Amino acid sequence: MDNREGSGAAAQVDAGKGSGSSSPDSDDVRRGHLDAIKRMEFLRNLFCQTLGLGSEKPEKVLDELTLDGVSRFLLSEKCKKGVCMLQASQISVPTGHGSLYTNLATVQPTCLPQAIFEISYSFKQHPEPFFALARELYPGQFKPTVCHYFIRLLKEKGLLLRCYTQNIDTLERVAGLDQEDLVEAHGTFFTSHCVSSSCQKSYSLDWMKEKIFSSLIPKCEKCQSVVKPDIVFFGESLPSRFFSLTQSDFRNVDLLIIMGTSLQVQPFASLVSRVPTNTPRLLINKEKTGESEPLMALMGFGCGMDFDSEKAYRDVAWLGDCDEGCLALAELLGWKDELEKLVREEHAAIDAKSSQAVGDGASASGAPAKEAKQSLSAKKKSPPGGKEN
Ligand SMILES: [Zn+2]
């Protein structure tokens, strides 16, 4: 529908003014309208410029606002690269194992005694509570979900520009995504660094895990400062990689897929509005989210998601479990068998390594029985000094 009543009306008023056939009273009324319209246009332009909202009429690129429409677009020439955005809460929990880190991630902003996660004071002075919590919450196994493997398929088919995740549990890496494919907005447990700014020596996940389960506070081998997993603490800024890549990625993307995030937490909440106005956005989530404030929507500012209004032209919501949503999309893409095979094979490999680890006496470190099962060797790569921005 026409979302530019303002400019249309302005043109009519201007045309009427030229006719010279109206009374002085109606001239005043018209001038008043014109002023109001000009003010509205000024505001609209201001918003468009300052908020980066498109003022041009957006092109509709999906033939249908459904998962079918998205699948046809994904397979078309028009879609070259897509970005996926993930959040911990709904993605990792279905594994039934990996919720320790994700618990850390999800509670971190609000509920936990915040001091545990404060880098400036608490952690450097008293790192014990954090590592006790990490030990308690450490996942029994690193087992990515269907959703993670779907993203790997996107990568293998050359369709993944980047995966932005708020997970800190490394499951994207376990599923086969590389550092280059990922922006871990809240950091990751995959690598750790010495907190001393003059040292910053890097440590691997295996090294950190051993310290955590031996109940030792991880200390730098070079300078004896505490070593901290590279997750983002209070008082720390997000990884520089996040800021540099969001600049270019969200401007150049053909499709945005948002999975398992409520879009309530920054920085993800604001990212959905950064894509070009004709870029389709698919939300796979338990409920609709990210929609505009009603007042903004009424004024024609389409910053938020719009699934249902008569002006909706690019946003699609698939409601339900993320894994099921990915399977449904994979089926429409003709990838379902491939995806299921990948999940089966990868999970079998992880299980095999887990039982091997138990056989090798992995529990000798003194970890509780539950943890003895875990296999850190399940991960794809373990560069000893893994780099992280
Ligand atoms: Zn050090």
Q: How far is the CA of 339 from the centre of ligand 1 (A)?
A: 43
Spell out the residues 6+ positions from residue 372 whose beta carbon is closer than 8 angstroms to its own.
357, 358, 362, 363
pTM for the structure as a whole? 0.72
Please, what is the average pLDDT of the chain?
75
* pLDDT number for residue 214: 92
Spell out the residues 6+ positions from residue 110 whose beta carbon is closer than 8 angstroms to its own.
none
Rounded to whole angstroms, the Cα distance separating 144 from 346 reads: 9
* Class (C level, CATH) for 67-378: alpha beta
> Between these two residues, 64 and 90, which has the higher pLDDT value?
64
- 331-343 pLDDT, tens digit per residue, is 999 999 999 999 9
- Domain range summary for the chain, segments of one domain joined by +: 7-12+24-51, 67-378
List, in sequence order, every residue forming a beta bridge with 259; answer none if it has no partner: 86, 284
Nearby residues for ligand 1 (ion, Cβ within 5 Å): 194, 196, 199, 201, 220, 222-223, 225
Rounded to whole angstroms, the Cα distance separating 132 from 122 reads: 14
* pLDDT number for residue 310: 85
Taking 50 as the threshold, does the pLDDT of residue 388 lie above it?
Answer: no
Alpha-carbon distances, residue 337 vs 84, 157, 344 (angstroms): 21, 15, 10
Does 186 participate in catalysis according to the annotation?
yes
Q: How far is the CA of 228 from the centre of ligand 1 (A)?
A: 11
Q: Which amino acid makes up residue 100? A: L
Rounded to whole angstroms, the Cα distance separating 192 from 209 reads: 10
Q: How far is the CA of 218 from the centre of ligand 1 (A)?
A: 11
Label residue 320 by pLDDT band (50, 70, 90).
very high
Rounded to whole angstroms, the Cα distance separating 63 from 325 reads: 20
List, in sequence order, every residue forming a beta bridge with 231; answer none if it has no partner: 187
Taking 90 as the threshold, does the pLDDT of residue 84 lie above it?
Answer: no
Q: How far is the CA of 124 from the centre of ligand 1 (A)?
A: 13
* pLDDT number for residue 85: 80
Label residue 128 by pLDDT band (50, 70, 90).
confident
Most distant CA pair in the chain: distance in Å? 96
Rounded to whole angstroms, the Cα distance separating 308 from 291 reads: 10
Q: Which of 33, 126, 148, 186 is catalytic?
A: 186
For every residue of 309-325, DSSP letters joined together read STT--SEEEEES-HHHH
> Between these two residues, 332 and 186, which has the higher pLDDT value?
332
Label residue 28 by pLDDT band (50, 70, 90).
low
Average pLDDT on 369-388 reads: 38
Average pLDDT on 293-310 reads: 70
Q: How far is the CA of 196 from the centre of ligand 1 (A)?
A: 6
Q: How far is the CA of 225 from the centre of ligand 1 (A)?
A: 5
Q: Assign 274 to helix, strand or coil.
A: helix
Label residue 262 by pLDDT band (50, 70, 90).
confident
Q: How far is the CA of 112 from the centre of ligand 1 (A)?
A: 28
Taking 50 as the threshold, does the pLDDT of residue 381 lie above it?
Answer: no
Label residue 97 by pLDDT band (50, 70, 90).
very low
Average pLDDT on 69-84 reads: 91
Alpha-carbon distances, residue 9 vs 3, 4, 355 (angstroms): 12, 9, 72
Q: How far is the CA of 356 from the centre of ligand 1 (A)?
A: 33
**Contact between 44 and 55 (Cβ < 8 Å):** yes
Burial class (CB in 10 A: 0-12, 13-18, 19+), 160: buried
> Between these two residues, 220 and 371, which has the higher pLDDT value?
220
Average pLDDT on 377-389 reads: 38
Label residue 168 by pLDDT band (50, 70, 90).
confident
* pLDDT number for residue 125: 81
* pLDDT number for residue 2: 38
* pLDDT number for residue 300: 54
Interaxial angle between packed helices 336-359 and 322-333, expressed in degrees from 0 to 180 and rounded to the nearest 10: 130
Q: How far is the CA of 110 from the centre of ligand 1 (A)?
A: 30
Taking 90 as the threshold, does the pLDDT of residue 222 lie above it?
Answer: yes
Count CB atoms within 10 A of the CB of residue 74: 22
